[in-house]
């Protein structure tokens, strides 16, 4: 198992480098000038020349690529943002936890609702429950996220404003609530700029986790309320896809001979469904969950923009419009690494779900 994981991770290195090179090249083909995006439309030619020299943009593209890769490998330096003049690593520490928190909540909703809905639909095939579930899944997979997000905000933030069902439409926390980093609450002093400080800062930017570590349950409840609408909007498409795949896989397994044999032996129907059928139907479901998880984390830009979440997706969109090459490159590589890790976890889970599968 360990050899398999190491081999998969090593094979992923060329893929990540390929993505880095393609992103590095395509980012520089985007129409527009980083200088005018950073300094304004009226920046002089002399100012742009000095700007390009300071940011290393006056070098040939191959030299820029070599310097960038060298800085990552030797120092873990992702460069400096062109627009904000701050290290990209600091932006990653600030933005990545937001996207991970939102994506995790959305995927939990998708799995906890989609899988049981698919199983129920397969068990009650061609019944009104099955028809209603599949109609809902088809509607869910067809609704654009930006439209659904706006509709949810309109309903729960405006129409239900004076009811107990009101939910905040934007932001991560209510104005005035201050989340103190857990290491400060614990009385731990971390030197700014050190690796331990960066790790502590990264963990503290998970608002829900940080509020639990600091026992600030008022912040926890407020953060969860702010998370409901964006997580619901983001989970709709993967939820619908998971429900449809679960139904299809369960229908295939329920028609197998060993399921009919279990029923003929008088095994309880619940045990037939969950022990004999569901476990054998899990492989395609796990595959789809893994693919949807990667897509969900990479495609949260619309949801983050609608609900005012400052995550990776929104930062990447702003970087593309502002021609901020270091952010585009670094954030894309981080998303690619996430995809690779998710695929490795999915492959490893196969061996635990089906003992017949051996990872060599």
Average pLDDT of every residue of the chain: 84
Domains of the chain: 2-75 (no CATH), 88-321 (1.10.3720.10)
Backbone angles phi, psi at 87, to 5 degrees: -60, 140
* DSSP reduced 3-state for 80: strand
CA angle 224, 157, 230 (to 5 degrees): 45
| Span 9-20, average pLDDT | 81
- The token pair at 136 is 């809902």
HEC assignment per residue over 202-267: HHHCCHHHHHHHCCCHHHHHHHHHHHHHHHHHHHHHHHHHHHHHHHHHHHHHHCCHHHHHHHHCCC
| Contact indicator for 179, 204 with CB cutoff of 8 Å | yes
Reply yes or no on whether the pLDDT at 248 is more than 70.
yes
Contacts of 62 by beta carbon, 8 Å cutoff, 6+ apart:
none
Per residue in 29-59, pLDDT tens?
777 677 766 676 777 778 878 877 877 777 7
Q: What is the pLDDT of residue 359?
A: 58
The CA distance from 79 to 91, in Å, is 11
* DSSP reduced 3-state for 178: coil
- The token pair at 280 is 């054998």
What Cα–Cα distance (Å) separates residue 110 from each residue in 116, 142, 167, 256, 288? 10, 15, 20, 27, 11
Percent of residues, the chain, with pLDDT higher than 70: 96
Alpha helices in the chain (DSSP H): 2-27, 34-39, 45-55, 61-75, 88-123, 128-142, 145-154, 182-185, 195-204, 207-213, 217-254, 257-264, 269-271, 282-298, 301-306, 312-321, 325-353
Reply yes or no on whether the pLDDT at 228 is more than 90.
yes
Q: Exposed, middle or buried by CB within 10 Å (0-12, 13-18, 19+), for 61?
A: exposed
Alpha-carbon Rg for the chain, nearest whole angstrom, is 24
Backbone angles phi, psi at 329, to 5 degrees: -65, -50
- The token pair at 137 is 């899944």
| Span 117-122, average pLDDT | 92
Q: How many CB atoms lie within 10 A of CB 82?
A: 24
**What residues form DSSP beta bridges with 80?**
87
Reply yes or no on whether the pLDDT at 268 is more than 70.
yes
Percent of residues, the chain, with pLDDT higher than 90: 26
The CA distance from 306 to 355, in Å, is 44
| Contact indicator for 133, 139 with CB cutoff of 8 Å | no
The CA distance from 31 to 322, in Å, is 10
Higher pLDDT, 131 or 1: 131
Per residue in 286-324, pLDDT tens?
989 988 888 787 667 778 888 888 888 778 878 877 778
Q: What is the DSSP secondary structure assignment for residue 87, as one 8-state letter?
A: B
**What residues form DSSP beta bridges with 87?**
80
Q: How many CB atoms lie within 10 A of CB 217?
A: 10
Q: What is the pTM of this model?
A: 0.85
Reply yes or no on whether the pLDDT at 210 is more than 90.
yes
Most confident of 23-27, 207-211, 293-297: 207-211
């Amino acid at each position: 198992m360990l050899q398999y994981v190491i081999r998969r991770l090593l094979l992923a290195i060329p893929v990540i480098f390929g993505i880095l090179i393609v992103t590095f090249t395509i980012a520089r083909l985007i129409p527009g000038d980083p200088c005018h995006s950073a300094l304004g439309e009226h920046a002089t030619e002399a100012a742009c020349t000095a700007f390009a020299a300071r940011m290393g943009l006056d070098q040939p593209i191959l030299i820029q690529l070599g310097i960038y890769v060298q800085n990552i490998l030797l120092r873990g330096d992702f460069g400096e943002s062109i627009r904000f003049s701050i290290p990209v690593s600091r932006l990653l520490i600030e933005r990545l936890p937001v996207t991970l928190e939102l994506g995790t909540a959305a995927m939990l909703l998708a799995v906890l609702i989609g899988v049981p809905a698919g199983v129920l639909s397969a068990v009650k095939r061609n019944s009104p429950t099955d028809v209603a579930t599949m109609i809902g899944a088809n509607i869910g997979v067809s609704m654009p996220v930006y439209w659904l997000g706006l509709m949810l905000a309109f309903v729960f933030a405006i129409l239900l404003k004076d009811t107990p069902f009101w939910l905040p439409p934007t932001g991560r926390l209510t104005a005035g609530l201050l989340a103190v980093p857990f290491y400060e609450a614990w009385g731990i002093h971390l030197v700014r700029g050190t690796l331990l400080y960066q790790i502590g800062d990264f963990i503290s930017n998970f608002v829900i986790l940080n509020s639990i570590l600091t026992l600030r349950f008022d912040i926890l409840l407020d953060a969860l309320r702010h998370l409901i609408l964006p997580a619901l909007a983001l989970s709709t498409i993967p939820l619908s896809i998971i429900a449809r795949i679960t139904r299809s896989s369960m229908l295939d397994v329920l028609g197998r001979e060993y399921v009919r044999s279990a029923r003929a032996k008088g095994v309880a129907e619940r045990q037939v469904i969950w022990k004999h059928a569901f476990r054998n139907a899990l492989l395609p479901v796990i595959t789809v969950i893994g693919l949807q998880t990667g897509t969900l984390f990479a495609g949260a830009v619309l949801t983050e923009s609608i609900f005012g979440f400052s995550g990776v997706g929104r930062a990447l969109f702003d970087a593309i419009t502002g021609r901020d090459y270091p952010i585009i490159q670094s954030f894309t590589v981080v998303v690619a690494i996430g995809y690779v890790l998710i695929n490795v976890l999915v492959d490893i889970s196969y061996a635990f779900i089906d003992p017949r599968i051996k990872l060599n």
